[in-house]
Structures are given as structure tokens and as C-alpha cells.
Structure 1
Amino acid sequence: MTEIHPHQRVAVLADAQNLYHTAQSVYSRNIDYSALLEKSVQDRELTRAIAYVIQADSPDEERFFEALGDIGFETKIKELKTFGDGSKKADWDVGMSLDAVTLANHVDTVILCTGDGDFSRLCSHLRHEGVRTEVTSFAESTSEELTEAADAFIDMSERPDTFLL
């Protein structure tokens, strides 16, 4: 696989819900998305940064989405769906995967900011296509299968004061 070099083109795909839940449950803090982007890119050439968010009509939500844009993330927003039985669901697994596969022809590295093990197959596919895959997430909520499938893993838990507000 491609090693890290200064002219490497990277795409950062951040699963905001996945990161948020770990940051809140383990640290009772929020993600520093500016640091997340900077530490993930590592002085390489950022081609695209996308944050996948869920719209749940919570206070300050719009301000959060705008802040992501100011940092450099394109936001993709999905509404939280409530079903007849009262259950709720919203996830971006398919959307993130489709974007990663689409971007693969335009980048050297795809960085997935999530701990969701469902993305391990995506990492394997991208690596087969010659694209370096990296995962940036919290070890305590990251699937071992995902870290094994990726070329590199940045454990946000090792530096909580860097990655958390």
C-alpha cells in the first residue's frame, strides 16, 4: 500500500454520530473536529472532508453543522426516522461506503473516522483497489475487525486532550 508522503491526496469521512456517542459516554466531552481533521490529514493534501450527521431537531444543531462547514467539512445530513413502534433509526453506513468507493479514484488514502466494524469490508475493498485506508477513532468503541482491515489506526483515546473539547 501507499506510504504517507506530503503530496498524498486524502479524503476524510467522519461518522459524527459514532464519534459523538463514544466521546459522550466515555469522556462526557465533545469532539474537536478541527483537531480531528488536522491530525487525520497529517500535512497531506486534503481532497475532501465529509461529516455525516443526523438531524434530530436538537438545540444548537444548526450551529454545529455550520461550525463543521467553517472547519472545512462538507456536511451530509440525514433526518432521524421514527417508526410506528416508536423506534428510531438513522445511519450513514451505505452513504459513507458509496462516497468512499466513488472517491477512491481521486485519492491515495481514505480516512474513516468511525469505529463501526461494518466498514471493515469497505477497507478491504479499497485496499484491493490500491487505496490506503486509515481509521481514526476511539479504541474502546472500535471494532477489532476494522482496525485489522485498515492500513493504519489512530487511537483518539491515546490523546483525549487533543481530540476532545
Structure 2
Amino acid sequence: MPAERQVAVLTAELASLTRTLEVQAAQIAQLVRVQEELARKVAQASAQAPAASQPPALARVGVFVDAANIELACDRLRHRVDWKKMLDYLTEGRQLVRAVAYSPVHDDPGVSLETQRFAEPFLEKGYRVVTKPLRRFSDGTIKANVDIEMALDILEMLDRLDVVVLVSGDGDFQRLVEVIQSKGVRVEVVSVGSSTASNLRQAADRFIDIQSILQRVRA
């Protein structure tokens, strides 16, 4: 084939290839534009759509038990409370941070905790048991007040709690309840209705009468 003919053929093929590449480039550019437009619409839709609701955080709860006060109150019901069932009831749907039972114990350190009237019901039930020896006074009376220990422990933990459950009917705790509430923490009082001071019931955000839940927490 003459050289001129070969050059003409190659020139024609090159022109054809160039047109093909130009067409492909145009198609690619169009595809890129379509993808960019699609991405833009998706971003707009995401921005306009309501944010997916997050599951609410579980309320952090601390349970504090005035063991002697509540056990004596429950004695009047002629039924024993299973304190593991009670703890499960009080923390249902919530996050337990701490459960503590405050119990007076015999002043003889040789007496085992398992035989202590007010400590034994809380052993191995999910509670930390804090004890205070009974004091014998010259007039023959015996007393072991755990109010201060309870109050100090609760106040020290407030920054880690959303709810304080106070298991006692002692009206002396009214001021403690008010201080807790002033820090933005909810207070629930649990006791036997007939053995609970009215001022404590009124101060609480919620009062739970053990008589009303006895079927769920009875031993």
C-alpha cells in the first residue's frame, strides 16, 4: 500500500479513536455529575430527616436500707421480706449503682454476722452490709443509730445517682431527703405505710408502701 494511503488510513483510525474517547469521556463526566447530584440529595435528605432517637439512659439508682427500722416495721406485717426480691423490684429497668444495708450488731465482736437479727436478712442478697455496734447506756437502754453513716454515704454518692431509694420510715430523714432533692436527685421512700412518719412520706418524690407490693417481695 502506498505510503500516502497508509497515512490516510491511520489518520482516519486515529480520528475515529479520538471521537470514541471523547464520547466515553463525556459519558464518564455525565456519570460523575449524576453521582454528585445523588450524593447531594442524600445529604440533604439526611439533614432534613429527624435524628434517630437514642434509647434513654437507664436511671442510676442507689438503695439505702435502715435495717433495724424496716425489719421491725415488717414484723408488724407478720411476713418476712425477701430483700433480694425487693432489690430486683426497686431496680427493675434501672441501673443499680449501690445497695447498702445499715445494721446495728451485738457489741461482742465474737458474735457472727449470720446470727445478727438485723444483718442476716441482707447477707448474700446483693447488699453491702454496714454494721455499727450497739451501745449500752447506764440506764439500761441499748442503741445504735446508723442515721449519720447512711446520710454521709448517700451525700458522697449523689454525683453518681439519679435516684436515691431510702428504705426507712424514720421521720428524722426528712431533712436528708430535702438536701438530696436540692441536688436534682429523685428520692423514693420505701417502708410499711402504718410505720412511716407522715413528714417523710410527704417529702419523698414517691412513696412505696411495702404492704402494696408484698405479693412480689414476700420471702
Q: Is TM-score (shorter-chain normalized) higher than 0.5?
A: yes
Report whether the alignment pairs 1:38 with 2:88: yes
Contact kept? 2:63, 2:166, Cα under 8 Å: yes
Shift of 1:65: 4.4
Shift of 1:60: 4.4
Aligned pair in 2 of structure 1 residues 131, 80: CA closer, same or farther (>3 Å)? same
**2:172 — aligned with what?**
118
RMSD (Å), alpha carbons: 2.2
Contact kept? 2:171, 2:198, Cα under 8 Å: yes
| Equivalent residue runs for 1:1-165 within 5 Å | 7-24=58-75, 26-56=76-106, 57=111, 60-61=114-115, 65=119, 68-165=122-219
User: Structure 1: where are the runs of 5+ without partners?
Assistant: none
Contact kept? 2:71, 2:118, Cα under 8 Å: no
User: Structure 2: where are the runs of 5+ without partners?
Assistant: 1-55
Q: Taking CA–CA contacts closer than 8 Å with sequence separation of 6 or more, which of the two structures ends up with the larger relative contact order?
A: 1
Is 55-64 or 33-42 further displaced after alignment? 55-64
Contact kept? 2:83, 2:121, Cα under 8 Å: no
Structure whose alpha-carbon radius of gyration is higher? 2
Higher strand proportion = 1
TM-score by length of 1: 0.87
Q: Which secondary structure state, in structure 1, belongs to the residue aligned with residue 124 of structure 2? A: helix
Moved over 4 A (4+): 57-60, 62-67
Amino acid at match of 2:59: Q
Aligned pair in 2 of structure 1 residues 163, 88: CA closer, same or farther (>3 Å)? same
Shift of 1:36: 1.5
**2:40 — aligned with what?**
none
Higher helix proportion = 2
Aligned pair in 2 of structure 1 residues 22, 63: CA closer, same or farther (>3 Å)? closer
Amino acid at match of 1:85: D
Q: Which secondary structure state, in structure 2, belongs to the residue aligned with residue 161 of structure 1? A: helix
Shift of 1:63: 9.6
Aligned pair in 2 of structure 1 residues 67, 22: CA closer, same or farther (>3 Å)? closer
